Amino acid sequence: MSSYNIALNFEDGVTRFVECKAGEKVLDAAFRAKINLPMDCSDGVCGTCKCRAESGSYDLGDDYIEDALSDDEKEHGLVLTCQMVPQSDCVIAVPASSTACKTEQVKFAATVTKIEAHKDAAVVLELDVDSHAPVFLPGQYVNIDVPGSGKHRSYSFSSAPGESKISFLIKKIPGGVMSTWLEAAEAGHKVELTGPLGSFYLRAVERPVLFLAGGTGLAPFLSMLEVLARTNAQQKVHLIYGVTRDLDLVLVEAIEAYKAKLPNFTFDTVVADTASDHPRKGWVTQHMPAESLNDGDVDVYLCGPPPMVDAVRQYFDDNGVKPNSFHYEKFTPNAAPVTA
């Protein structure tokens, strides 16, 4: 391969991708893309360019001093971008804001190709993107400008990266700005998007994974599942999809299809409504099998409304559950997601 895609995730949630040529250092590739990553000496001496590599393989060489990067820091994924030469696509967390690095969010255009309603619960919006659309990581979101309103709304991609069409699972909100526009929108209408954004995205899968989705918080997991299927992931993946009413269970057939694509994928659905005839009633935390937590050797991803996120966090604290990693994203209908 002659080049690699390097995702730079800034602490304010902005993600930028740069192309790193074979044998090229990340710092040089970023500067070539007019992104000023933190740096001072650029010789592996000061440590100013220190970042965290969250996935991918790379070579750091030995042309740096231990004061700039200790062996312990190296073991924990810290890198010097002035020395780091990627050997695969990589994801790098940058401990600075995008504005401090003189980069900005990418704005791009798209055309509506399909609007598919799922009863009164949600809408799938499919868009055809132009050639300038940015790459994103499975789990990230964008801000979509609502035509004619002067406002935008934030939605996670439900489609996988690298496609000419992108999709979103949007909760229907009576009188909502986006919901109202979608009622009259048709194929061919134009929209503008800004992103990608967010630090909630799929990391390298090296152990069992537990996905916890609440309502339309299912969207990012559909993107993640497609990526896992395409990469032939072998680790166990369990999804628990919780909703309020039976009618809120959407795209279950799409989830079911991944059981044939992923050999170690399982999922359960949970309905909170006590009047439901669903076999699993209550909250997600009441239907979390011990085997899915794998004695803590598990990476947990959670996307849902704030009460669900808070309940899961409290459940983990009360039961002494300490996952290897815990990534979550809270969302409310009229605000950008909050990630951790």
* pLDDT surpasses 70 at 82: yes
pLDDT digits (tens, 9 = 90+) for 112-133: 999 999 999 999 999 999 766 7
Please state the pTM of the whole predicted model.
0.84
CB within 8 Å of 195: residues ≥ 6 apart: 15, 105, 106, 134, 136, 140, 141, 142, 143
Listed in order, the ranges of the chain carrying CATH 2.40.30.10 are 106-197
In words, the CATH class of domain 3-94 is alpha beta
User: pLDDT class for 178, splitting at 50, 70, 90?
Assistant: very high
Listed in order, the ranges of the chain carrying CATH 3.40.50.80 are 209-339
The confidence score (pLDDT) of residue 2 equals: 81
In words, the CATH class of domain 209-339 is alpha beta
* pLDDT surpasses 80 at 333: no
The confidence score (pLDDT) of residue 340 equals: 67
**Please, what sign has the CA dihedral across residues 78, 80, 86, 89?**
positive
CB within 8 Å of 183: residues ≥ 6 apart: none
Running DSSP on this structure, what letter comes out for residue 157?
B
**How does DSSP assign 231-295, residue by residue?**
TT--S-EEEEEEESSGGG--SHHHHHHHHHH-TTEEEEEEE--TT---SSBS-GGGG--HHHHGG
Percent of the chain with pLDDT over 90: 82
pLDDT digits (tens, 9 = 90+) for 304-316: 999 999 999 999 9
Domain 106-197 superfamily per CATH: Translation factors (2.40.30.10)
Listed in order, the ranges of the chain carrying CATH 3.10.20.30 are 3-94
User: pLDDT class for 336, splitting at 50, 70, 90?
Assistant: low
* pLDDT surpasses 90 at 334: no
Alpha helices by DSSP H, listed for 94-206, are 177-184
User: pLDDT class for 156, splitting at 50, 70, 90?
Assistant: very high
